[in-house]
Amino acid sequence: MRETFDWYGWPLRQDSLFFESENGGVVLRPTDLLVAIDETGIEDFSDPQYPLFGLGGCAVYAGLYLDALCLPWLKLKKQYFGSGDTPLHAADLHGNQRIEAAAAIGEFFRHNGFFRLAAITTATTVSDGVIDPYTAVAMQLMGQLAVIQRIAPFDRVVFIFEGSQRTDGLAARVFQSFEMTYEVEGTTKKVELIYWRGTKALNYSALEVADFIMHAAGTAVRASRSGTKYMDRKDFAAVFGAAPDYLSHFVCLSEYGIRSKQ
């Protein structure tokens, strides 16, 4: 029987997690918040068929990662795709494979208690031109984590990014400029922010789940251009609509910029 301890009402395993790649490894304590981040679209909106950009993914205590995300995801992959080692990406599902797996993937998102995040901007989003699209959605993502902190307190966040030659440098510049704080007995302290890069080739469940979340968010926003409501998309409804509200954090920006002080 696994040993757990109570952390603000969350039953966490006592074990640490270790993630490793060619870029080195990172160790997570049970009370650390693991945030796996993927992207959708291109930040300069250069694809006319997909004129949007977004960042997001999943967030979960490291002490809940195995039970609330990793093991259920591996079970789903083994049942529907032959092996837990099979790489799985939302954009690669087609035809009968997509139909057969869709219900199971929907059940996975419906019944497992991890946070799902997404912040998206589009080519028609109004901007003052001071903040670039990547920074704008990254700021929204950090705001979503601040909301989560009130529900699931943490003093350290470990970001695991889906590596991208196009945006690695941009991600490092933007995210390493952020700060988060928390209150302890009237004293403000900084949240420790750790950044680590992985690849989909590693088959880490967190990054695969982040891929499905951002695929659902991006395709729903794209479909909305022709009048389709977000919740009319089955994948979006499964990811963001079926779980309790406190787990789902999604925003599509209508405008962003620096407000002048009057």
Tens of pLDDT, residues 102-139? 888 889 999 999 999 999 999 999 998 899 999 999 99
Instruction: Taking residues 38-65, report their average pLDDT.
Output: 96
Q: Are 220 and 229 in contact (CB under 8 A)?
A: no
Phi then psi for 106, rounded to 5 degrees?
-60, -40
Q: How far is the C-alpha of 156 from the C-alpha of 32, rounded, in Å? A: 5
Mean pLDDT of the chain: 90
Q: Are strands 115-122 and 248-252 parallel, antiparallel or unpaired?
A: parallel
Q: How confident is the model at residue 87 (pLDDT cuts 50, 70, 90)?
A: confident
Q: Which range among 103-117, 138-152, 192-206 shows the weakest confidence by mean pLDDT?
A: 192-206
pLDDT at res. 112: 96
> Residue 261's pLDDT is what?
45
Where is average pLDDT lowest: 110-114, 143-147, 163-167, 218-222? 163-167
**R_g of the chain, CA atoms, integer Å:** 18
Which of these ranges, 73-77, 143-147, 187-191, 200-204, has the smallest mean pLDDT?
200-204
pLDDT at site 98: 64
Mean per-residue pLDDT for 61-73?
A: 97
**Given this model, what pLDDT does residue 83 score?**
79
Give me the pLDDT at residue 164, please: 78
% of the chain beyond a pLDDT of 70: 94
Of residues 192 and 129, more confidence is placed in 192
158 vs 61: CA distance, rounded Å: 10
Res. 84: pLDDT tops 90? no
Distance between CA atoms of residues 167 and 170, nearest Å: 5
Q: Evaluate whether 149 touches 188 at the Cβ level (below 8 Å).
A: no
Higher-confidence residue of 200 and 229: namely: 229
Q: Residue 262 — very low, low, confident or very high, per pLDDT cuts 50/70/90?
A: very low
Task: Check pLDDT > 70 for residue 196.
Answer: yes
Who wins on pLDDT, 160 or 101?
160
How many degrees, rounded to 5, is the angle at CA 72 between CA 54 and CA 162? Answer: 30
User: Per mean pLDDT, which range of 12-26, 90-104, 186-200 is the poorest?
Assistant: 90-104
β-bridge pairing 248-252 and 187-198 = unpaired
Spatial distance between the Cα atoms of 251 and 240, rounded to a whole number of angstroms = 11
